[in-house]
């Protein structure tokens, strides 16, 4: 890749990051999760960057090769959860293309060949299994302008194996005040006056967890000027301090039901990170249970084709609840080889939008 090609990529990436800086995702005020505590959590990786690192074609700002054990960490751009051994749940905005002229999100799914799903990992530097993604199903009602119906399914080429485990979905409407736990590899610190700061530092390699209370729909709608639909659920503290952040998009918001945790939401959007009266907004999964089951409980032919928006079912089913994990830190008081391929450039650009982030501090030659 020429110097000018690298310069163009840097310029376009920087421009898109500035355009989207106001609405970002996050784990702020949390703590590292115990190894294996949340085995249903999945990290989505940029495959082209993983390939570049493994081929020795990724170099850092000082011109040194990026170590192979950094590939998963640097390539992670969103979170997700394992619903069945074959199906992964995430946010639509993590897996749709961006308009290269405006930087706006579209309803067009990315090429699944450009994404890997890392299962069974707590630390991005060690362990886990990279799974090939063969299909992306974006909910047909996904509205990128309103961030509504922000949900998508990824079909894996093969069933995920241990130590990964599946998670079950919460049925019904959790009461306001219910303690929920959100997990992810997103930014631990966020300067709301300088949103670009988190692009260059303070992303954890180890999965973070934090407890936040569910917020009443009316309270959240008052904060967001009526933009919160019935397909969304809010969580957080009025004082701020604890929240999800950049890089946590698509990851699970969970509530304990007896001896297990069940997923109630998907990290979607928010105003900054951990700001007072700026609650995190999540996709409410129980509103989409029938649509999800159309795919995950059908054992027939593979669904939809490569990268589709629709409802044709496919894959395997039968997830089991997530075993009880380590509780969060809330106290209740305050709550390859040839460089970057141009056909994958939209994947990299879109990975910087909203609550997703591509934290790579290097480039491919």
The two tokens of residue 20 are: 């989207």
How is domain 39-166+291-296 classified at the CATH fold level? Thrombin, subunit H (2.40.10)
Q: How far apart are CA 71 and CA 318, in angstroms?
A: 32
What pLDDT shows up at residue 69? 92
Q: How far apart are CA 18 and CA 197, in angstroms?
A: 11
Which member of 51, 148, 150, 286 is catalytic?
150
Q: Which residue has the tokens 């706006």?
A: 104
Three-class DSSP category at 44: strand
What pLDDT shows up at residue 296? 94
What pLDDT shows up at residue 354? 31
Start and end residues for every CATH 2.40.10.10 domain found in the chain: 39-166+291-296, 178-286
Catalytic residue check, 249? yes
The two tokens of residue 325 are: 């994990």
The two tokens of residue 3 are: 């110097």
Return the number of other C-beta atoms located less than 10 Å from residue 134's C-beta: 19
> With helix as H, strand as E and coil as C, how does 57-79 read?
CEEECCCCECCHHHHHHHHEEEE
Provide the phi-psi class of 241: left if phi over 0, else alpha when psi is between -120 and 50, else beta: left
Q: Which residue has the tokens 């390859």?
A: 336
> Backbone phi, then psi, for 115, in 5-degree steps?
-125, 140
What pLDDT shows up at residue 113? 98
DSSP codes, 345-358: HHHHHHTTSTT---
The Cα-based distances of 223 to 96, 123, 234 in angstroms read 27, 35, 11
Q: Are strands 308-309 and 96-98 parallel, antiparallel or unpaired?
A: unpaired
Which member of 249, 268, 356, 364 is catalytic?
249
Q: Are strands 96-98 and 87-90 parallel, antiparallel or unpaired?
A: unpaired
CA atoms within 13 A on the CB side of 314: 19
- Annotate 204-229 with b (16+ C-beta within 10 A) or e (fewer): bbbbbbbbbbbbebeebbebbeeebb
Instruction: Residue count of the chain, please give it.
Output: 365
Q: How far apart are CA 343 and CA 235, in angstroms?
A: 37
DSSP codes, 89-107: EE-GGGSEEE-TTT--EEE
Which member of 81, 93, 241, 356 is catalytic?
93
How is domain 178-286 classified at the CATH fold level? Thrombin, subunit H (2.40.10)
Three-class DSSP category at 220: helix
Closest CA to 137 of 16, 286, 30, 288: 288
Per-residue pLDDT tens listing for the chain (365 residues): 433 333 333 333 333 333 232 333 445 566 788 899 999 999 999 999 999 999 999 988 888 999 999 999 999 999 999 999 999 999 999 999 999 898 899 999 999 999 999 999 999 999 899 999 999 999 999 999 999 999 999 999 999 998 899 999 998 889 999 999 999 998 776 666 655 544 445 788 999 898 999 999 999 999 999 999 999 999 998 777 766 777 889 999 999 998 899 999 999 988 777 677 788 899 999 999 999 999 998 744 344 444 555 433 333 333 333 333 333 333 222 222 223 232 333 333 333 333 444 444 333 33
Catalytic residue check, 238? no
Q: In angstroms, how far is the first alpha carbon of the chain from the final one?
A: 5
């Amino acid at each position: 890749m020429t110097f000018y090609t690298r310069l163009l990529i840097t310029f376009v990436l920087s421009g898109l990051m500035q355009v989207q800086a106001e609405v970002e995702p996050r784990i702020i005020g949390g703590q590292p999760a115990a190894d294996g505590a949340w085995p249903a959590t999945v990290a989505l990786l940029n495959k082209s960057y993983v390939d570049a690192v493994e081929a020795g074609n990724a170099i850092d700002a000082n011109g040194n090769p990026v170590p192979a054990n950094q590939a998963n960490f640097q390539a992670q751009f969103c979170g997700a959860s394992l619903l069945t051994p074959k199906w992964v749940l995430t946010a639509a905005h993590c897996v749709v293309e961006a308009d290269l002229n405006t930087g706006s999100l579209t309803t067009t799914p990315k090429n699944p060949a450009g994404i890997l799903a890392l299962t069974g990992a707590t630390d991005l530097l060690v362990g886990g299994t990279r799974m090939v993604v063969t299909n992306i199903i974006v909910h047909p009602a996904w509205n990128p302008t309103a961030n509504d119906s922000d949900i998508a399914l990824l079909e894996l080429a093969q069933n995920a194996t241990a130590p990964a485990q599946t998670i079950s979905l919460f049925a019904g409407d959790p009461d306001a005040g219910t303690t929920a736990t959100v997990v992810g590899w997103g930014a631990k610190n966020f300067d709301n006056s300088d949103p670009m700061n988190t692009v260059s530092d303070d992303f954890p390699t180890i999965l973070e967890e934090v407890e936040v209370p569910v917020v009443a729909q009316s309270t959240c709608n008052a904060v967001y000027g009526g933009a919160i639909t019935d397909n969304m659920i809010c969580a957080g503290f009025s004082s701020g301090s604890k929240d999800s952040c950049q890089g946590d998009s698509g990851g699970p918001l969970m509530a304990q039901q007896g001896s297990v945790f069940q997923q109630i939401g998907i990290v979607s959007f928010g105003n900054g990170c951990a700001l007072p009266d700026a609650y995190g907004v999540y996709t409410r999964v129980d509103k989409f249970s029938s649509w999800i089951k159309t795919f995950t409980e059908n054992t027939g032919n593979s669904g939809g084709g490569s990268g589709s928006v629709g409802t044709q079912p496919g894959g395997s089913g039968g997830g089991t609840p997530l075993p009880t994990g380590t509780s969060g830190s809330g106290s209740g008081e305050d709550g390859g080889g040839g460089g970057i391929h141009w056909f994958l450039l939209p994947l990299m650009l879109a990975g910087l939008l909203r609550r997703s982030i591509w934290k790579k501090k290097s480039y491919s030659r």
